[in-house]
Structure 1
Amino acid sequence: MIRTDRIFGVVVILVALAFIASAYNLPAGNMFDKLGPKVFPIIVGIGMAASAAAMIVRPDAEPDWPAMKSLAALVFATVVMIAYAYMLRPFGFLVPTAIVAAILSYQIDPKPARAALIGVGLSAGLYVVFKYALGLGLVALPRALMG
Protein backbone atom coordinates (compact mmCIF):
# COMPACT_ATOMS: atom_id res chain seq x y z
CA MET A 1 0.00 0.00 0.00
CA ILE A 2 1.33 3.43 -0.97
CA ARG A 3 0.61 5.61 2.05
CA THR A 4 3.58 7.93 2.49
CA ASP A 5 2.88 10.22 -0.48
CA ARG A 6 -0.81 10.33 0.29
CA ILE A 7 -0.30 11.26 3.94
CA PHE A 8 2.22 13.92 2.94
CA GLY A 9 -0.19 15.19 0.26
CA VAL A 10 -2.99 15.62 2.80
CA VAL A 11 -0.64 17.47 5.17
CA VAL A 12 0.51 19.78 2.35
CA ILE A 13 -3.08 20.50 1.34
CA LEU A 14 -3.89 21.49 4.94
CA VAL A 15 -0.83 23.75 5.05
CA ALA A 16 -1.77 25.25 1.67
CA LEU A 17 -5.29 26.00 2.90
CA ALA A 18 -3.89 27.67 6.02
CA PHE A 19 -1.49 29.63 3.80
CA ILE A 20 -4.35 30.81 1.58
CA ALA A 21 -6.51 31.69 4.60
CA SER A 22 -3.69 33.73 6.14
CA ALA A 23 -3.23 35.60 2.85
CA TYR A 24 -6.75 37.00 3.23
CA ASN A 25 -5.63 38.76 6.43
CA LEU A 26 -3.13 40.89 4.52
CA PRO A 27 -4.13 44.53 3.95
CA ALA A 28 -5.76 45.52 0.69
CA GLY A 29 -3.74 47.09 -2.09
CA ASN A 30 -3.59 50.81 -2.78
CA MET A 31 -4.82 52.60 -5.89
CA PHE A 32 -1.56 51.86 -7.75
CA ASP A 33 -1.58 48.16 -6.89
CA LYS A 34 -5.14 46.92 -7.33
CA LEU A 35 -4.28 43.29 -6.64
CA GLY A 36 -2.43 43.97 -3.41
CA PRO A 37 -0.17 41.61 -1.52
CA LYS A 38 -2.80 38.85 -1.26
CA VAL A 39 -2.48 37.51 -4.77
CA PHE A 40 1.01 36.02 -4.66
CA PRO A 41 0.50 33.93 -1.49
CA ILE A 42 -2.84 32.74 -2.80
CA ILE A 43 -1.22 31.63 -6.08
CA VAL A 44 1.54 29.83 -4.14
CA GLY A 45 -1.09 28.14 -1.94
CA ILE A 46 -3.07 27.00 -4.98
CA GLY A 47 0.11 25.60 -6.52
CA MET A 48 0.92 23.76 -3.28
CA ALA A 49 -2.59 22.30 -3.11
CA ALA A 50 -2.50 21.22 -6.77
CA SER A 51 0.89 19.55 -6.34
CA ALA A 52 -0.30 17.78 -3.20
CA ALA A 53 -3.46 16.60 -4.96
CA ALA A 54 -1.28 15.12 -7.70
CA MET A 55 0.71 13.25 -5.03
CA ILE A 56 -2.50 11.85 -3.58
CA VAL A 57 -3.91 10.76 -6.94
CA ARG A 58 -0.64 9.32 -8.36
CA PRO A 59 1.71 8.40 -5.50
CA ASP A 60 5.16 6.96 -6.05
CA ALA A 61 6.22 3.57 -4.75
CA GLU A 62 6.78 3.35 -1.00
CA PRO A 63 10.24 4.77 -0.22
CA ASP A 64 12.99 3.06 1.73
CA TRP A 65 13.19 5.04 4.97
CA PRO A 66 16.57 5.61 6.58
CA ALA A 67 17.67 3.59 9.58
CA MET A 68 16.57 4.65 13.05
CA LYS A 69 20.07 6.00 13.76
CA SER A 70 19.75 8.45 10.85
CA LEU A 71 16.28 9.54 11.92
CA ALA A 72 17.53 10.09 15.47
CA ALA A 73 20.37 12.24 14.09
CA LEU A 74 17.85 14.33 12.14
CA VAL A 75 15.67 14.79 15.23
CA PHE A 76 18.74 15.79 17.26
CA ALA A 77 19.78 18.34 14.61
CA THR A 78 16.25 19.77 14.61
CA VAL A 79 16.27 20.12 18.40
CA VAL A 80 19.69 21.82 18.24
CA MET A 81 18.42 24.32 15.65
CA ILE A 82 15.32 25.10 17.73
CA ALA A 83 17.51 25.65 20.80
CA TYR A 84 19.73 27.90 18.64
CA ALA A 85 16.76 30.12 17.81
CA TYR A 86 16.09 30.57 21.53
CA MET A 87 19.77 31.18 22.38
CA LEU A 88 20.29 34.04 19.92
CA ARG A 89 18.60 36.84 21.84
CA PRO A 90 20.10 36.27 25.31
CA PHE A 91 23.58 35.18 24.19
CA GLY A 92 24.17 37.19 21.01
CA PHE A 93 25.13 35.80 17.63
CA LEU A 94 28.73 34.62 17.93
CA VAL A 95 28.58 32.16 20.85
CA PRO A 96 25.37 30.26 19.94
CA THR A 97 26.36 30.11 16.28
CA ALA A 98 29.80 28.73 17.12
CA ILE A 99 28.32 26.09 19.43
CA VAL A 100 25.59 24.99 17.04
CA ALA A 101 27.89 24.97 14.01
CA ALA A 102 30.39 22.87 15.96
CA ILE A 103 27.70 20.42 17.07
CA LEU A 104 26.31 20.00 13.55
CA SER A 105 29.79 19.77 12.08
CA TYR A 106 30.68 17.07 14.61
CA GLN A 107 27.53 15.22 13.64
CA ILE A 108 28.66 15.21 10.00
CA ASP A 109 32.32 14.33 10.67
CA PRO A 110 33.09 13.29 14.27
CA LYS A 111 36.44 15.03 14.73
CA PRO A 112 36.21 17.34 17.77
CA ALA A 113 39.08 19.72 16.95
CA ARG A 114 37.94 20.20 13.37
CA ALA A 115 34.32 20.67 14.46
CA ALA A 116 35.35 23.36 16.98
CA LEU A 117 37.41 25.21 14.36
CA ILE A 118 34.58 25.03 11.86
CA GLY A 119 32.13 26.30 14.48
CA VAL A 120 34.28 29.30 15.40
CA GLY A 121 35.19 30.06 11.78
CA LEU A 122 31.64 29.78 10.53
CA SER A 123 30.35 31.94 13.38
CA ALA A 124 32.87 34.71 12.71
CA GLY A 125 32.47 34.52 8.94
CA LEU A 126 28.68 34.61 9.04
CA TYR A 127 28.78 37.50 11.49
CA VAL A 128 30.94 39.55 9.15
CA VAL A 129 28.73 38.76 6.16
CA PHE A 130 25.44 39.39 7.95
CA LYS A 131 26.54 42.46 9.89
CA TYR A 132 28.72 44.30 7.38
CA ALA A 133 27.85 42.96 3.92
CA LEU A 134 24.10 42.64 4.46
CA GLY A 135 23.73 45.34 7.11
CA LEU A 136 21.75 43.28 9.61
CA GLY A 137 21.57 44.56 13.17
CA LEU A 138 23.16 41.58 14.89
CA VAL A 139 24.37 41.69 18.46
CA ALA A 140 27.73 39.89 18.61
CA LEU A 141 27.85 38.97 22.31
CA PRO A 142 25.40 38.98 25.22
CA ARG A 143 24.20 42.46 26.04
CA ALA A 144 25.46 42.08 29.64
CA LEU A 145 29.02 41.78 28.29
CA MET A 146 28.59 44.62 25.82
CA GLY A 147 27.66 47.17 28.50
Structure 2
Amino acid sequence: MTLNDRVLGVGALVLAALITAFGYDLEPPFSYEPVGPKAFPLLLALIIALCGLRLMLKGGGQVAANPPGANGRILMMVAYLAAYAWLFQWLGFIVATTIMATLVGRLFGGSWKQALIGGLAMGVGLFLLFDLGLDVVLPYGILGEWL
Protein backbone atom coordinates (compact mmCIF):
# COMPACT_ATOMS: atom_id res chain seq x y z
CA MET A 1 0.00 0.00 0.00
CA THR A 2 1.34 3.43 -0.84
CA LEU A 3 0.31 6.66 0.79
CA ASN A 4 0.16 9.98 -0.93
CA ASP A 5 0.37 13.57 0.19
CA ARG A 6 -3.39 13.98 0.42
CA VAL A 7 -3.68 11.25 3.05
CA LEU A 8 -0.94 12.93 5.07
CA GLY A 9 -2.72 16.27 4.64
CA VAL A 10 -5.97 14.85 6.00
CA GLY A 11 -4.04 13.39 8.94
CA ALA A 12 -2.46 16.79 9.61
CA LEU A 13 -5.88 18.46 9.59
CA VAL A 14 -7.22 15.89 12.06
CA LEU A 15 -4.20 16.46 14.32
CA ALA A 16 -4.67 20.24 14.09
CA ALA A 17 -8.34 19.86 15.03
CA LEU A 18 -7.43 17.73 18.07
CA ILE A 19 -4.78 20.22 19.20
CA THR A 20 -7.29 23.05 18.82
CA ALA A 21 -9.97 21.17 20.75
CA PHE A 22 -7.66 20.38 23.67
CA GLY A 23 -5.77 23.68 23.65
CA TYR A 24 -8.67 26.09 23.30
CA ASP A 25 -9.89 25.73 26.88
CA LEU A 26 -6.50 26.12 28.55
CA GLU A 27 -6.83 28.80 31.20
CA PRO A 28 -4.31 29.54 33.95
CA PRO A 29 -5.54 29.77 37.54
CA PHE A 30 -4.31 33.39 37.51
CA SER A 31 -3.29 35.68 34.67
CA TYR A 32 0.45 36.12 34.58
CA GLU A 33 0.89 37.18 30.97
CA PRO A 34 -1.39 38.72 28.35
CA VAL A 35 -1.28 35.84 25.86
CA GLY A 36 -1.88 32.91 28.22
CA PRO A 37 -1.06 29.22 27.80
CA LYS A 38 -3.43 28.51 24.92
CA ALA A 39 -1.49 30.66 22.43
CA PHE A 40 1.17 28.02 21.76
CA PRO A 41 -1.14 25.07 20.99
CA LEU A 42 -3.43 27.25 18.86
CA LEU A 43 -0.50 28.66 16.88
CA LEU A 44 0.90 25.14 16.45
CA ALA A 45 -2.51 23.90 15.28
CA LEU A 46 -2.71 26.73 12.75
CA ILE A 47 0.71 25.91 11.29
CA ILE A 48 -0.10 22.18 11.11
CA ALA A 49 -3.47 22.93 9.47
CA LEU A 50 -1.88 25.19 6.86
CA CYS A 51 0.68 22.51 6.04
CA GLY A 52 -2.09 19.90 5.84
CA LEU A 53 -4.12 22.09 3.49
CA ARG A 54 -1.07 22.59 1.30
CA LEU A 55 -0.52 18.84 1.10
CA MET A 56 -4.18 18.22 0.30
CA LEU A 57 -4.29 20.83 -2.45
CA LYS A 58 -0.93 19.86 -3.99
CA GLY A 59 -1.50 16.14 -3.47
CA GLY A 60 -0.66 13.21 -5.67
CA GLY A 61 2.91 12.41 -4.71
CA GLN A 62 3.58 8.73 -4.16
CA VAL A 63 5.65 7.80 -1.15
CA ALA A 64 8.26 5.06 -1.30
CA ALA A 65 8.08 2.24 1.20
CA ASN A 66 10.14 2.61 4.37
CA PRO A 67 13.56 0.96 4.33
CA PRO A 68 13.95 -2.26 6.32
CA GLY A 69 13.89 -1.64 10.07
CA ALA A 70 12.46 1.88 9.83
CA ASN A 71 8.98 0.88 11.02
CA GLY A 72 10.45 -0.71 14.14
CA ARG A 73 12.46 2.44 14.90
CA ILE A 74 9.34 4.57 14.41
CA LEU A 75 7.40 2.39 16.87
CA MET A 76 10.28 2.59 19.36
CA MET A 77 10.29 6.38 19.05
CA VAL A 78 6.55 6.48 19.81
CA ALA A 79 7.13 4.22 22.83
CA TYR A 80 10.00 6.45 24.03
CA LEU A 81 7.80 9.55 23.72
CA ALA A 82 4.99 7.88 25.68
CA ALA A 83 7.41 6.81 28.41
CA TYR A 84 8.92 10.31 28.48
CA ALA A 85 5.50 11.89 28.98
CA TRP A 86 4.59 9.34 31.65
CA LEU A 87 7.85 9.65 33.63
CA PHE A 88 8.44 13.38 33.13
CA GLN A 89 6.95 14.57 36.46
CA TRP A 90 8.32 11.74 38.57
CA LEU A 91 11.88 11.65 37.21
CA GLY A 92 12.09 15.37 36.51
CA PHE A 93 13.15 17.22 33.40
CA ILE A 94 16.89 16.57 33.53
CA VAL A 95 16.71 12.80 34.14
CA ALA A 96 13.77 12.14 31.81
CA THR A 97 15.29 14.23 29.00
CA THR A 98 18.70 12.61 29.43
CA ILE A 99 17.19 9.11 29.17
CA MET A 100 14.97 10.08 26.23
CA ALA A 101 17.78 11.77 24.28
CA THR A 102 20.15 8.88 24.97
CA LEU A 103 17.69 6.29 23.67
CA VAL A 104 16.88 8.41 20.62
CA GLY A 105 20.60 8.83 19.98
CA ARG A 106 20.95 5.05 19.97
CA LEU A 107 18.01 4.77 17.53
CA PHE A 108 19.90 7.03 15.14
CA GLY A 109 23.04 4.91 15.30
CA GLY A 110 25.13 6.66 17.95
CA SER A 111 27.32 4.68 20.32
CA TRP A 112 26.28 4.43 23.97
CA LYS A 113 29.03 6.88 24.92
CA GLN A 114 28.02 9.44 22.28
CA ALA A 115 24.32 9.08 23.04
CA LEU A 116 24.82 9.39 26.80
CA ILE A 117 27.06 12.46 26.53
CA GLY A 118 24.64 14.09 24.10
CA GLY A 119 21.62 13.18 26.23
CA LEU A 120 23.20 14.53 29.42
CA ALA A 121 24.28 17.73 27.68
CA MET A 122 20.78 18.16 26.28
CA GLY A 123 19.06 17.48 29.62
CA VAL A 124 21.26 19.84 31.64
CA GLY A 125 21.61 22.46 28.90
CA LEU A 126 17.90 22.73 28.19
CA PHE A 127 17.12 22.79 31.92
CA LEU A 128 19.49 25.71 32.43
CA LEU A 129 18.10 27.50 29.39
CA PHE A 130 14.46 27.12 30.42
CA ASP A 131 14.84 27.41 34.20
CA LEU A 132 17.44 30.14 34.48
CA GLY A 133 17.32 31.86 31.10
CA LEU A 134 13.59 31.84 30.33
CA ASP A 135 12.26 31.46 33.89
CA VAL A 136 10.10 28.46 32.97
CA VAL A 137 9.37 26.19 35.92
CA LEU A 138 10.31 22.58 35.17
CA PRO A 139 9.88 19.56 37.44
CA TYR A 140 12.96 18.63 39.48
CA GLY A 141 11.78 15.08 40.08
CA ILE A 142 14.23 12.79 41.83
CA LEU A 143 16.95 15.50 41.71
CA GLY A 144 14.84 17.88 43.78
CA GLU A 145 17.13 17.73 46.80
CA TRP A 146 20.18 18.73 44.78
CA LEU A 147 18.70 21.50 42.62
TM over 0.5: yes
Corresponding residue of 1:59: 60
Q: Which has more radius of gyration?
A: 1
Do the aligned partners of residues 81 and 47 (structure 1) sit closer, same or farther apart at CA in structure 2, a change above 3 Å counting? closer
Q: CA deviation at 1:139?
A: 2.5
Q: CA deviation at 1:83?
A: 1.0
2:60 partner SS: coil
The answer to whether 1:120 aligns with 2:130 is no
Query: Percent identity between the aligned chains?
Result: 18
Tell me how far apart the structure 2 counterparts of residues 74 and 54 of structure 1 sit (CA, whole Å). 27
Corresponding residue of 1:95: 95
1:92–1:142 contact (8 Å) kept in structure 2: yes
TM-score by length of structure 2 reads 0.66
RMSD across aligned positions (CA): 3.5
1:142 partner SS: helix
1:127–1:140 contact (8 Å) kept in structure 2: no
How many residues end up aligned between the 2 structures? 128
Do the aligned partners of residues 6 and 122 (structure 1) sit closer, same or farther apart at CA in structure 2, a change above 3 Å counting? closer
2:84–2:96 contact (8 Å) kept in structure 1: yes
Corresponding residue of 2:36: none
Q: CA deviation at 1:82?
A: 1.8
Tell me how far apart the structure 2 counterparts of residues 49 and 113 of structure 1 sit (CA, whole Å). 39
5+ residue gaps, structure 2: 26-38
Do the aligned partners of residues 109 and 13 (structure 1) sit closer, same or farther apart at CA in structure 2, a change above 3 Å counting? closer
5+ residue gaps, structure 1: 27-36
Q: Which residues of 2 match residues 1-147 of structure 1 at below 5 A?
A: 4-15=4-15, 18=17, 22=21, 44=46, 47=50, 50-55=53-58, 58-60=59-61, 62-142=62-142, 146=145
TM-score by length of structure 1 reads 0.66
Tell me how far apart the structure 1 counterparts of residues 110 and 137 of structure 2 sit (CA, whole Å). 33
Amino acid at match of 1:146: E
Tell me how far apart the structure 1 counterparts of residues 114 and 3 of structure 2 sit (CA, whole Å). 42
Do the aligned partners of residues 48 and 131 (structure 1) sit closer, same or farther apart at CA in structure 2, a change above 3 Å counting? same
